[in-house]
Structure 1
Amino acid sequence: MKINVVKAYLKKEFSELVRSRLIIMVYLMPSMILILFGYGIKMEVYNVRTAIINYDKSQLSYRIISAFEHSRYFTAEVVNLPEEKALEMMKRAEIDLLIIIPESFEKHLLKGIKTEIGIFVDASFPFRGLTIQSYAEGVLLKEAQEVLQSRPSIVINHRNLFNQAMRDENAIVPGLLGIVFLVAPAILSALLIVREKERGTIFNFYSSPVRKTDFVIGKLSLPFLLHSVNIFIIFLWAAYLFKVPFRGNFFIYWITSEIYVLISVSIGLLVSIVARTQIVAIVLTVIITIIPGFLYSGIVMPISSMEGEAAVEAHIFPVMYYNHIIYDTFLIGQGFSSDKNLFYFFILIFYWLFITVIGVLLLRKELR
């Protein structure tokens, strides 16, 4: 590697970024993604519009109504309507949950007779519907258990580990890091090479004695260095703005993120080989990075629950391995004492080397 050649490319690309003001987006886009999605994605469901039809008029039924009315998750109202009318309200999206307390509900419960209570949930969005169902069942079972507390029962003593407060930010923000550091460096590195094609200055490389490795290192060094600074900026956003706890080793977070940024700029190299224009490069990079980033980051769905083709695809993309280590550094703190974390770290290193070698081999120093 010729240091002077790399330094010349580095200086040239930096001056181009400053002159075009694209350097502002280098630091603005990752922070915008983290802030917008960090505040915008919410897993918990609040203010569920709830209608309750009470046929029992018993002490227990009023306790159940009071529990729903005083819960922060529900906005409950007792309605004196036929069941068909109440279901029509749900069809018109006026309510999200309908609870029907049947006659003799408390009497049957105290006598040990099997009894039922109706719960109708708007499950147009399945995840939200399941969440509402779980909340409603929790309230009902709690009140029923208190009524039957004199009878033998199983008491579940549970503790939430790693995210004791059950904060959405603790679950969402670390996962967003895998998307931020996959998308932004890849777009920048792809643009730096494709821009040479659009302007025709790529012929300077074709006709010069500069080797492909020097050209690749010179072009990719700038996005790597710029986004290395972003690693610290994004950490500050996560730890101090979103107040996500950090229980792991900062060195592991840093070195893993650096390897991951190298993977991202290598993906940009592959895109730049295929694309001829900057618009094509941006669209192609977004498709390759953002979609898999969201699907396989663990934010929307746990990787462990995926089966078949989805599980295979999740293991192909690097975001799964990176986010596993990042979630550990923020919420758990095992670090490399965990064999799985160490194994995933070496997978990321192999991923980077493999993509970089493929990119250098596919890059042709000639007009196609």
Structure 2
Amino acid sequence: MKLGVIKAYVLKELTEIVRSRLIIMVYLLPTMVLVLFGYGIRMEVTGARTLIIDNDQSHYSQLLVSKFEHSKYFDSTIEKRGEAKALDEIHKAKSDILIIIPESFEKRLLHGQSTQIGVFVDAAFPMRGSTMESYVKGVVLDAASQMFERLGGNAPTISINQRTLFNQAMRDEDAIVPGLIGLVLLIAPAILAALLIVKEKERGTIFNFYASPLSKGEFIAAKLIPVFLLHSINIFILFLWATYLFEVPFRGSFLLYWLTSELYLMISLSIGMLISIVTSTQIVAVVLTVIVTIIPGFLYSGILMPISSMIGVSRYEAHIFPVMYYNHILYDVFLVGEGLASSKTVMYIVILAFLCFFLC
């Protein structure tokens, strides 16, 4: 392999990328994806439109109502109306939660009798509905504990000394942004790698390489080295966006982050190169790359759903795609900080190395 020839073609490719303005896509696309999805995806539900019907109008019912009013998770409205009309508010998408406090609420509490509170939750989106339901339960249990103390209850109680680990503030950014880095470094390099090779096939200029003394290995190296170098800079840019713009903590080894990212970048380039083999036009190459990278990237990266919670075939499918292994390492270096002390992290690095060797 002639290094001088490769260097000349690499400079030619870099010049062509700048001249064709693909350089804008190299750095604009990853940043746009990170910023748009980093701010756009929200697991936490705040300001849920809550309609409360207090049929009791007692001291303890107002105590329960005040718990909802002083919580950031609920945008509470207290009204006096029938249950049927209140349910219409949810049917018309004007309310997310309906809470009905019965008339004998305080009386039953004072007499030590069990009482029920009606709660209706809009669960058209199951994940959001489940989250809102858990918030309601938490507020009701907190209010019940306070009521029990005021009533002079002396039954033994269990207090929970809760500590959250790795994401103490429970910020969505800390959970989503590291995963988005894995998604971006899978999609953008693969698209560019596929385009650079398919472009030669579409224009017919690839026959110039056939007629030249350039070997296949030198041709592929000349095409992929510029993409690799350009996106290697993206590794640092995305890190800066994550830590300074989104203020995601970084608790692990930067060397581990950088080396595994370069390894993952090679896998992404290999996927783009494989797609360029089976396509002959740039549009088809882009569409196929998007299908192969974005769909598995979202489903099996752990951004929206933990891999451990998947069941059946989906759990095995997740282990086919490299994004699952890389994102585990990302969450470790950003939030956990175990690094090579974790046997699972070491195993995933070995798997990424095997995938890189196999695809290359």
Task: Please indicate the TM-score interval, normalised by the length of the shorter structure.
Answer: over 0.9
Counterpart of 1:226 (choices 226, 230, 241) is 230
Give the CA deviation at 1:148: 1.3
Counterpart amino acid of 1:328?
Answer: D
SS at match of 2:166: coil
SS at match of 1:148: helix
Distance (Å, rounded) in 1 between the aligned partners of 2:325 and 2:110: 52
Give the CA deviation at 1:161: 0.5
**Residue number in structure 1 paired with 2:296:** 292
SS at match of 1:51: strand
Counterpart of 1:277 (choices 274, 278, 281) is 281
Bigger mean CA deviation after superposition, 56-65 or 92-101: 56-65
1:288-344, Cα deviation, whole Å (9 max, x unpaired): 111111111111111110011111111100000000000000001000110000000
Distance (Å, rounded) in 2 between the aligned partners of 1:350 and 1:98: 53
Q: 1:356-367 residue pairs with structure 2 within 5 A?
A: 356=360
**Residue number in structure 1 paired with 2:58:** 58
**Residue number in structure 1 paired with 2:203:** 199
Counterpart amino acid of 2:107?
Answer: K
Distance (Å, rounded) in 2 between the aligned partners of 1:134 and 1:293: 29
Q: 1:104-119 residue pairs with structure 2 within 5 A?
A: 104-119=104-119
**Residue number in structure 2 paired with 1:176:** 180
Give the CA deviation at 1:110: 4.3
Residues 47, 73 of structure 1: 8 Å contact kept: yes
1:262-302, Cα deviation, whole Å (9 max, x unpaired): 11010000010011000111000011111111111111111
1:68-89, Cα deviation, whole Å (9 max, x unpaired): 1111111111111110110011
Counterpart amino acid of 2:141?
Answer: L
Give the CA deviation at 1:24: 1.5
Bigger mean CA deviation after superposition, 22-31 or 106-115: 106-115
Counterpart of 2:213 (choices 209, 212, 223) is 209
Please give the TM-score of this superposition, normalised by the length of structure 2: 0.97
**Residue number in structure 2 paired with 1:254:** 258
Give the CA deviation at 1:199: 1.2
Distance (Å, rounded) in 2 between the aligned partners of 1:192 and 1:53: 63
Distance (Å, rounded) in 2 between the aligned partners of 1:167 and 1:35: 15
Residues 42, 168 of structure 1: 8 Å contact kept: yes
Structure 2 unmatched ranges of 5 or more = none
Distance (Å, rounded) in 2 between the aligned partners of 1:294 and 1:110: 52
Counterpart amino acid of 1:211?
Answer: S
Q: Percent of aligned positions with the same letter in both sequences?
A: 63
Please give the TM-score of this superposition, normalised by the length of structure 1: 0.94
**Residue number in structure 1 paired with 2:82:** 82
Residues 55, 80 of structure 2: 8 Å contact kept: no
**For the structure 1 residues 107 and 155, does the alpha-carbon distance in structure 2 shift closer, same or farther, using more than 3 Å as the test?**
farther
Distance (Å, rounded) in 2 between the aligned partners of 1:267 and 1:43: 31
**Residue number in structure 2 paired with 1:363:** none
**Residue number in structure 1 paired with 2:33:** 33
SS at match of 1:243: coil
**Residue number in structure 1 paired with 2:48:** 48
Runs of 4+ in 1 over 6 A off after TM superposition: none
Distance (Å, rounded) in 2 between the aligned partners of 1:341 and 1:145: 42
CA RMSD of aligned residues (A): 1.1
Distance (Å, rounded) in 2 between the aligned partners of 1:306 and 1:123: 21
Residues 189, 265 of structure 1: 8 Å contact kept: yes
Give the CA deviation at 1:218: 1.5
Q: Does 1:349 align with 2:356?
A: no
Distance (Å, rounded) in 2 between the aligned partners of 1:343 and 1:201: 43
Counterpart amino acid of 2:47?
Answer: N
Q: Does 1:336 align with 2:346?
A: no
**Residue number in structure 2 paired with 1:165:** 169
Give the CA deviation at 1:2: 2.2
Residues 110, 148 of structure 1: 8 Å contact kept: no
